Amino acid sequence: MARKIFVNLPIKSMERSQAFFRALGFTFNPQFTNEQGACMVISEDIFAMLLVEPFFQTFTSKPVADANKSTEVLIALSCESRAEVDELVKKALAAGGRAPQPPQDHGFMYYHQFEDLDGHIWEVMWMDPNAAPPQA
């Protein structure tokens, strides 16, 4: 059985967050989506649980980080091409996100970042494993 991953992210507005990620082409599993949490489908085995902050807080006794002021996680997503990296960032910017850094080109790997509406950093990258430098 393949493992699945569920990344849980605190959000301020369910409606705003779902609209943002829908604009990027993501869908939501209605079976696990309500006014407190939304199950965003990234792939067959990867999901982001967007949880409104009061609900997110019920899962931890620690304070919830404000991703606009500090970085609590970097979420990296692979893409099939450099063009797909650029297109996803372009969609994020058009939907109200921001690009905190310019794209990075390392020859064998190309990546760019966007921040979603709650400040979470998403790194989208393409890598050519055949061109990666050998490990020492």
pLDDT tens track for 79-122: 999 999 999 999 999 999 999 999 999 988 999 999 999 999 99
pLDDT tens track for 33-76: 999 999 999 999 999 999 999 999 999 999 999 999 998 889 99
Alpha carbon separation from 53 to 37, 73, 102, 118 (Å, rounded): 10, 16, 30, 11
Confidence category of residue 2, pLDDT binned at 50, 70, 90: confident
pTM: 0.88
Structural domains in the chain, sorted by start:
5-131 (3.10.180.10)
At 129 the pLDDT is 76
